[in-house]
């Protein structure tokens, strides 16, 4: 039996033509060119890239076509794209410019059947259910939509279970409370999520140190880590992360060696 490798993913939040980052999904600051950073992380050894159009749901469609088309010419790892995808046709358009997977959040909460429509056509491996979670009390989190701006009233654990039934292939789980803080993951959130579904869970929101990644993998059993703040502000690099995790006997891909 093949032992799973924990994936290390760079997350790039985009507004207009800029890579941005905020705290708790607010107070967004411009970081730089998304393509330059995408190429940098690819060269460092990222396993995947996630591009999220943070304002797409406001305008009703994804605006990353030009950025993704450019990135896909130089980057040969899986690319996930989310934001403003409201129909199967929207998903197909994003795939045509070079994406490998589709991430959906707001539209899926509003109409869960969209998950099945995309999954049945493209395969579940192409569908990532993006979930923005805000803690409301102990062991209870609520799904937020519109890039963390609006409460949906939906319970996170119930929603990810439904998402798996509808055909999502994996979950991108972002803690709004920890996003951009560097205070570490919400391990309770991640652990409960990984215990609630059988599909992979990508943990996002809160990385400050490599130890945070180690805890998410060992204590919360996450399948993958999506990083933004720690990478954008040079708190660490993929090379440093891989070396440290290897020293902890964590199973991650050796850069330039997929065996």
| Identified catalytic residue from 13, 48, 90, 223 | 13
**Tokens encoding 100:** 């490998």
Annotated catalytic residue, options 47, 48, 53, 132: 132
Three-state SS at 53: strand
As given in the structure block, the two tokens for residue 13 are: 């939040």
Q: What phi and psi values does residue 100 have, to the nearest 5 degrees?
A: -105, -25
The yes-or-no answer on residue 13 being catalytic is: yes
Residue with tokens 């209870």: 140
What are the structure tokens assigned to 183, written together?
A: 């205070």
Q: What is the CA radius of gyration of the chain?
A: 17
Q: Beta strand 127-137 with 150-155: parallel, antiparallel or unpaired? A: unpaired
Give the burial class of 170: count Cβ atoms within 10 A of its Cβ; 0-12 exposed, 13-18 middle, 19 or more buried.
Answer: buried
Please identify which residue in the block is written with the tokens 């652990």: 191
Measured at the CA of 93, the angle between CA 91 and CA 96, to 5 degrees, comes to: 110
Q: What are phi and psi of 85, to 5 degrees?
A: -90, 110
Q: Where does residue 235 rank: exposed (0-12), middle (13-18), buried (19+ CB within 10 A)?
A: middle
CA nearest neighbour of 219 among 180, 181, 250, 179: 250
Spatial distance between the Cα atoms of 108 and 215, rounded to a whole number of angstroms: 30
DSSP 109-165: HH-THHHHHHHHHH-GGGEEEEEEEEEEETTEEEEEETTTTEEEEEEHHHHHHHHHH
To the query of whether residue 132 is one of the catalytic residues in this protein, the response is yes
Catalytic (active-site) positions: 13, 132
């Amino acid at each position: 039996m093949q032992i799973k490798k924990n994936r290390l993913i760079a997350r790039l939040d985009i507004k207009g033509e800029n890579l941005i980052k905020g705290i708790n999904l607010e107070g967004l600051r411009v970081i730089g060119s998304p393509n330059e950073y995408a190429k940098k992380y690819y060269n460092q050894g990222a396993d995947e890239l996630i591009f999220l159009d943070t304002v797409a749901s406001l305008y009703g469609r994804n605006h990353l076509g030009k950025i993704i088309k450019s990135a896909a010419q130089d980057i040969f790892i899986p690319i996930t794209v989310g934001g403003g995808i409201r129909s199967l046709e929207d998903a197909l358009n994003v795939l045509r410019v070079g994406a490998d997977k589709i991430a959906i959040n707001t539209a899926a909460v509003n109409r869960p059947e969209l998950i099945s429509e995309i999954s049945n056509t493209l395969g579940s491996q192409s569908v990532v259910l993006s979930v923005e979670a805000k803690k409301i009390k102990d062991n209870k989190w609520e799904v937020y939509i519109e890039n963390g701006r609006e409460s949906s009233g939906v319970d996170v654990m119930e929603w990810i279970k439904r998402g798996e039934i509808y055909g999502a292939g994996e979950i991108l789980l972002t803690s709004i409370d920890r996003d951009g803080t560097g205070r570490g993951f919400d391990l309770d959130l991640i652990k409960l999520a990984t215990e609630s579904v059988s599909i992979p869970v990508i943990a996002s929101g809160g990385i400050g140190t490599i130890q945070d990644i180690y805890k998410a993998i060992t204590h919360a059993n996450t399948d993958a880590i999506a990083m933004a703040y720690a990478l954008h502000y040079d708190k660490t690099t993929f090379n440093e992360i891989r070396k440290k995790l290897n020293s902890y006997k964590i199973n991650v891909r050796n850069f330039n060696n997929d065996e």
